[in-house]
């Protein structure tokens, strides 16, 4: 048995240049197009040029037959460090922590991390049927198609196990819609009331329309670079206090009631030097509200099964006492494929660098971002999280 060693901190490395494209319901453009759009925006906002990018990290489902390699030639990048992150909703913090080590160790000076996908009229259905081998063999043939079935089942279990009602989930969805109304890139433009939430069209019991994200096209990007370079160039930036990542945790659980965060939060907060109570805002992965509740529990905000009660007396909006998914999250901004794994992180960078504009949380200094991805069969396999701290 080999004991894990204490990890090095991310001293001297910062994250900067958050970029988000507007999201579109359907697009005739390709993933390459969307990725280029976010990348250009990010690089430009830092006052850099493409030739300054010597590290490149990509997350996307719809690049086929290309990978990050094909993109270098397509986009004319000449990186000396290249990564492809197939972690879906967990890809943001995972891309960040890899890039941070590359910069820290000198393998690259500026890493551009980008996630994006297109959404053609029939691409979502096609993507679902070939998503993973286990999904193809053992979940897709059962009717719901894609993650709706898995999340319906675990939402059903969660509700009965912990006595949670649909209104509890509704609180999350309604507050995120409020936040999305401040985000001009979001696809959802109309307010959502609790009544409308509860009256949402049935999808797969107990999941209804407003529990589900809308697949869209879009892209998100950020840069990871040396702190001295960011300071010298006057680029707004944030420190990386801690990150974690875990895959296929708790495989022995008969149905997913917790994610890999639970295995690693002591290390997360240990490295950051503070607990969950010290963060100013939280960005969770929110493809369905039940998974938001699991993150609240597994990230230590409350005990297992207590999330509904925890949020009951909290205001989750931008101006509330517990700002959560401040750009509207995927539930209201849309799920742009793998960019759904970046949306919370990119928004968190804006928040702690004070550049969030209309969604800015007052005095936001510390943000916790968590990712959850890849419903490989019956549960999400990848989990990740990162704590960012602004420079005062």
Partner 1 sequence: MVTPLQKPPKKNPQVRTRVPTLPSHYRSRSALFMAATAAEGRFMLQVCAEPDCGFVQYPARDACSSCLSDRLVWQDVSSRGKLIATSTVRTSTNTYFRERTPWRLGTVHLEIGPSVMCHLHSEVAVGDEVQLINRLDKSGQSVLLALPLEKAPLQEDDMQLRELTCDPKFRRILITDARNPNAYALAKNLLEAGVSAVFVGEAESWRPYPDRAKLESLQGVELVSLDVTDTSSVQELAGEFGGKVDILINNARFVRPGGIQGRGDVSFAMDEMQVNYFGMMRLAQAFAPAMAGRSADGVNSAVAWVNVLSVYSLVSNPGFGSFSASNAAAHSLSQCLRAEMVSSGVRVVNVYCGPTEDEWHQPLPPPKVPASTLARELVKALQAGLEDVYVGDIAKDIRRKFMESPKVLEKEMTSLEAL
What is the x/- site pattern for partner 1, positions 25-64, by CB under 8 A? ----------------------------------------
**Which is nearer to partner 1, 124 or 372 (by Cβ)?**
124
Question: How many other C-beta atoms are found inside a 10 Å radius of the C-beta of residue 76?
Answer: 10
**Which is nearer to partner 1, 204 or 351 (by Cβ)?**
204
**Which is nearer to partner 1, 220 or 287 (by Cβ)?**
287
- 1 lines the binding site for partner 1 (CB under 8 A): no
Residues between 108 and 167 that touch partner 1 (CB under 8 A): 124-125, 128-130, 133-134, 136-146, 148-150, 152-154, 156-157, 160
- 250 lines the binding site for partner 1 (CB under 8 A): no
**Which is nearer to partner 1, 208 or 317 (by Cβ)?**
208
**Nearest approach, Cβ of residue 137 and partner 1 (Å):** 4
- 254 lines the binding site for partner 1 (CB under 8 A): yes
**Which is nearer to partner 1, 206 or 328 (by Cβ)?**
206
Q: How far apart are CA 167 and CA 210, in angstroms?
A: 12
**Which is nearer to partner 1, 165 or 273 (by Cβ)?**
165
Q: Please say whether the dihedral angle defined by the alpha carbons of residues 184, 188, 190 and 195, taken in this order, is positive or negative.
A: negative
**Nearest approach, Cβ of residue 243 and partner 1 (Å):** 27
Of these, 78, 194, 255, 312, which contacts partner 1 (CB under 8 A)? 255
Q: How far apart are CA 333 and CA 312, in angstroms?
A: 23
Judged by the rule CB under 8 A, the positions of this chain that interact with partner 1 are: 124-125, 128-130, 133-134, 136-146, 148-150, 152-154, 156-157, 160, 201-207, 251, 254-255, 377-378
């Amino acid at each position: 048995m080999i004991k894990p060693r204490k990890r090095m901190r991310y001293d001297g490395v910062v994250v900067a240049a958050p970029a988000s494209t507007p999201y579109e319901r359907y697009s005739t453009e390709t993933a390459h197009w969307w990725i280029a759009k976010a990348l250009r925006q990010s690089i430009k906002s830092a006052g850099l040029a493409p030739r300054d990018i010597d590290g490149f990290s990509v997350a996307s489902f719809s690049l086929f037959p290309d990978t990050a390699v094909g993109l270098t030639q397509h986009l004319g990048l000449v990186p000396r460090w290249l990564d492809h992150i197939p972690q879906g909703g967990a890809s943001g913090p995972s891309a960040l922590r890899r890039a941070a080590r590359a910069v820290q160790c000198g393998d690259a000076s500026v890493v551009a991390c980008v996630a994006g996908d297109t959404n053609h009229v029939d691409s979502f259905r096609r993507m679902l049927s070939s998503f993973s081998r286990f999904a193809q063999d053992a979940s897709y043939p059962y009717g719901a198609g894609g993650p709706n079935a898995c999340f319906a089942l675990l939402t059903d279990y969660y509700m009965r196990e912990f006595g949670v009602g649909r209104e509890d989930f509704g609180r999350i969805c309604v507050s995120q819609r409020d936040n999305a109304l401040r985000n001009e890139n979001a696809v959802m433009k109309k307010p959502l009331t609790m009544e409308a939430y509860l009256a949402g069209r049935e999808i797969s019991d107990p999941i209804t329309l407003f529990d589900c994200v809308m697949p869209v096209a879009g892209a998100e990007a950020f840069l990871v670079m040396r702190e001295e370079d960011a300071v010298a160039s006057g680029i707004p930036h944030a420190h990386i206090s801690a990150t974690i990542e875990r895959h296929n945790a708790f495989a022995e659980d008969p149905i997913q009631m917790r994610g890999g965060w639970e295995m690693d939060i002591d290390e997360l907060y240990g490295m950051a030097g503070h607990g969950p109570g010290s963060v100013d805002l939280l960005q969770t992965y929110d493809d369905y509200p039940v998974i938001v509740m699991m993150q609240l529990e597994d990230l230590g905000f409350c005990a297992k099964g207590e999330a509904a009660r925890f949020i009951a007396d909290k205001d989750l909006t931008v101006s509330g006492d517990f700002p959560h998914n401040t750009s509207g999250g995927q539930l209201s901004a849309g799920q742009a494929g793998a960019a759904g794994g970046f949306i919370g992180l990119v928004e968190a960078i804006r928040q702690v660098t004070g550049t969030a504009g209309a969604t800015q949380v007052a005095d936001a200094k510390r943000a916790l971002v968590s990712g959850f991805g890849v419903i490989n069969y019956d549960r999400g396999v990848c989990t990740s999280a990162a704590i960012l701290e602004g420079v005062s």
